[in-house]
Structure 1
């Protein structure tokens, strides 16, 4: 006898769709049964006509704890994730302090335990003291971030030799390297020029050239060292073209965010501070180039870069646009934004399962248990109803940011249920119980 059967749904994987009943035991998917196949279960959940996707894995999120909990914390951030169908959050290391030592990581694990509504994996950061990476082995971080620009000097690797050296240490300690493409020399050059402080000045400080050069440097360093490397969000035509030409050179993957597919730089005229982040939104031509890359399957992972700030911080007056705290919320709207792309026929639901579940799980060392509706995997399952549309609203957002850039958007599906390791954690847009998430470790 099975503990639970989800009956009557359409199972979506990275490879396609099929009708099947999903049988669950002990938090794991035990079997995919033919529709109507006789099977006994203690609980049968009717999901007739609904689509079942693997729980989403957000590979790029900032939960802000420790040190920045006025912006977000483990409880509020994972609450938002659960309501958005994200059952695994991979937390970035840029908190206060940055997660640069094993003690920092142990503290985060302790703080998360008992407070998280979904599963969380932790990402650490390389500092100029690369010997510290040796301490992380037993703690199972899902990546080690190597920054090249726009961060404090202690965490910055500017030259290709510095990047290659950092990658060697990351690889030696059996971790995936995450790399944000940028160019500190361009930032320095901009600092020496007259600065109007407006949006145009901010865009000029982070041009497509900086992104493309950062991608090329990451690719060449990965090829020279043989270290698996994941390139963080790209959003320019120049960056996409550079990625297309070089992507087969090494063990590489790349991500972008949903917002980069919807907004161009003209959106700053209406939404301003709410959309300020890095990389900045670019031209309509850049957006179209990125959309074409997604359509062609050139983008491996769709992540959110969930980076909330308080409403007061975003609403304050600043001397320059560049001074506005950068980042916006995204965990609660990842699934909705992806469905919007399905509605627009840019992608399919299988593409959502691929870019938001299977690929990030596999790339970040969680592929044996996350990212797929398949026997042996954790029963992390999102149930959506394409017969019932929905509307994104600021009023329903639970992140401490208190808003979404997608407010008012029509979405061609509603979220019915979210299951985490076989237990229903969301029903009808509400949490169903206390936090049951656990910290997960990457296996490489």
Structure 2
């Protein structure tokens, strides 16, 4: 059965239903899961197209709610065609596109319409969109919610691009008042400028080609101070708030305290913080640079513990590519290099490679990579689970199979990634979006089969 084919059923000896892995036959009608039958020996209508995958694991497609596609405007960095093919190759069936690094940024209703137009006919997987909160765009927020935006992102520090300025505390109060009662969510890049040590500590005179120099320039306290602000705002306004790409475990106590006090606050971390550590980053290896920075091994172990304890809700890619020249590979200057890591295609395998050794189960994978991200963007009634009535979005993969990350197998536009040469556990065999095969064994559907997801916001405020 070739990519692009619609299918009526998927049969496997290993289907992840709730907390159980068992033989099942998933019946699909009009792109939705119709029934999940426990008896795989049942004869299906002869006219049905049945994909029998033996004992490969079938589970819900991954929902990656933190992806920078950069189209329109910076398509040399990435675009919908390449990003969504990479997603499909990694078992990701839904992405949510960040509002910045495209030109124009998704900060007005008209810019949102331009963004959707750029994405039309180019997406191999389903795509939803975040909007942005910047100074003085408060009157755009509710029209964007009504148009189907999934929620909003803001920065408390320079975003890296001038067309997406960061907000002040007064901007945040104005935005929160606009979002109250809408059911929408505000995402925070949670770093704040703080008083940095003087030259005596060697930060400003240290070698910029050493990773430690960059790491010292973005200390944990920048995240801690930002998250104190977010926690206070979340409690005050009772607007859903979400911390993107948490790298430091120091703010976890602040987050837990706010949640216990009733703040609808959630938090994600990323594959790179769980996989890479500061101690193992070579000199001049600027492909490892991201903001907030990759921290030390002890911090990484604490991130895994917090994830296991449910203090961190989900894990995402924060796929943030650029052209190779912006990584300053020639000089290896960590301070000047663009900060961002490309990993959209490898998230499931990156996560499972380590999680499987740390006692995480396959149902944990579904909760952390599928269900919780779908809940964040109000897509959890159609994405992130294997239930009748849900979209037939499936990843079929082999959790035990290992493979090496090689440049020729990378499908995002620019192949630079810190994961080159990594041996990962868990290989994707096929990806199905709404009952159609979009990827299978290295091949893609001839036409993009994804669609735009316009989110209908609940009017009640519910935390995850």
Flag the 1:260–1:50 CA change in 2: closer, same or farther, 3 A. same
Inter-partner Cα distance in structure 2 for 1:116 and 1:19: 32
Shift of 1:15: 3.8
Which residue of 1 is the match for residue 122 of structure 2? 115
Gaps of 5+ in 2: 1-5, 458-464
Q: Is the CA contact (8 Å cut-off) linking 1:385 and 1:413 kept in structure 2?
A: yes
| 1:84-233 aligned within 5 A | 84-94=90-100, 95-129=102-136, 130-151=138-159, 152=162, 155-159=165-169, 161-186=170-195, 194-196=204-206, 198=208, 199-233=211-245
Flag the 1:319–1:329 CA change in 2: closer, same or farther, 3 A. closer
Flag the 1:162–1:369 CA change in 2: closer, same or farther, 3 A. same
Instruction: Pick the aligned partner of 2:65 from 59, 70, 74.
Output: 59
Aligned to 1:413, the other structure's residue is in SS state strand
Deviation string 1:189-240 (CA, Å, 9 cap, x unpaired) is 99xx845462334223321111112122111101100101111111212123
Residues 1:258 and 2:263 aligned together: no
Q: Is the CA contact (8 Å cut-off) linking 1:164 and 1:224 kept in structure 2?
A: no
Residues 1:44 and 2:50 aligned together: yes
Shift of 1:45: 1.1
Which residue of 2 is the match for residue 33 of structure 1? 37
Deviation string 1:291-332 (CA, Å, 9 cap, x unpaired) is 111222221111111011122332444594221011011110
Which residue of 1 is the match for residue 462 of structure 2? none
| 1:254-403 aligned within 5 A | 254-269=267-282, 272-317=285-330, 320-386=333-399, 388-403=401-416
Aligned length: 441
Deviation string 1:161-215 (CA, Å, 9 cap, x unpaired) is 543332222335542111111113447999xx84546233422332111111212
Flag the 1:319–1:189 CA change in 2: closer, same or farther, 3 A. farther
Which residue of 2 is the match for residue 428 of structure 1? 441
Deviation string 1:82-103 (CA, Å, 9 cap, x unpaired) is 1111111100011222211111
Aligned to 2:305, the other structure's residue is in SS state helix
Shift of 1:345: 3.1
Inter-partner Cα distance in structure 1 for 2:71 and 2:393: 24
Which residue of 2 is the match for residue 10 of structure 1? 14
Q: In terms of mean alpha carbon deviation, does 79-88 or 260-269 score higher?
A: 260-269
Which residue of 1 is the match for residue 85 of structure 2? 79
Deviation string 1:396-417 (CA, Å, 9 cap, x unpaired) is 1011221332223333332111
Shift of 1:128: 1.4
Which residue of 1 is the match for residue 259 of structure 2? 247
Q: Is the CA contact (8 Å cut-off) linking 1:13 and 1:54 kept in structure 2?
A: no
Q: Is the CA contact (8 Å cut-off) linking 2:9 and 2:51 kept in structure 1?
A: yes
Greater share of residues in helix: 1
Aligned to 2:49, the other structure's residue is in SS state strand
Flag the 1:52–1:184 CA change in 2: closer, same or farther, 3 A. same
Q: Is the CA contact (8 Å cut-off) linking 1:233 and 1:257 kept in structure 2?
A: yes
Deviation string 1:323-370 (CA, Å, 9 cap, x unpaired) is 101101111001111221243234221111111111111120111111
Aligned to 2:188, the other structure's residue is in SS state strand
Inter-partner Cα distance in structure 2 for 1:72 and 1:11: 34
Gaps of 5+ in 1: none
Flag the 1:177–1:14 CA change in 2: closer, same or farther, 3 A. farther
Shift of 1:246: 3.0
Q: Is the CA contact (8 Å cut-off) linking 1:234 and 1:240 kept in structure 2?
A: no
Inter-partner Cα distance in structure 1 for 2:125 and 2:264: 29
TM-score, normalized by length of structure 2?
0.89
Deviation string 1:378-405 (CA, Å, 9 cap, x unpaired) is 0000001245432222321011221332
Q: Is the CA contact (8 Å cut-off) linking 1:60 and 1:303 kept in structure 2?
A: yes
Deviation string 1:58-100 (CA, Å, 9 cap, x unpaired) is 1111001011111111101111111111111100011222211
Shift of 1:274: 0.6
Aligned to 1:378, the other structure's residue is in SS state coil
State the Cα RMSD in Å: 2.4
Q: Which runs of 4+ in 1 moved over 6 A?
A: 187-190
Shift of 1:247: 3.0
Aligned to 2:251, the other structure's residue is in SS state helix
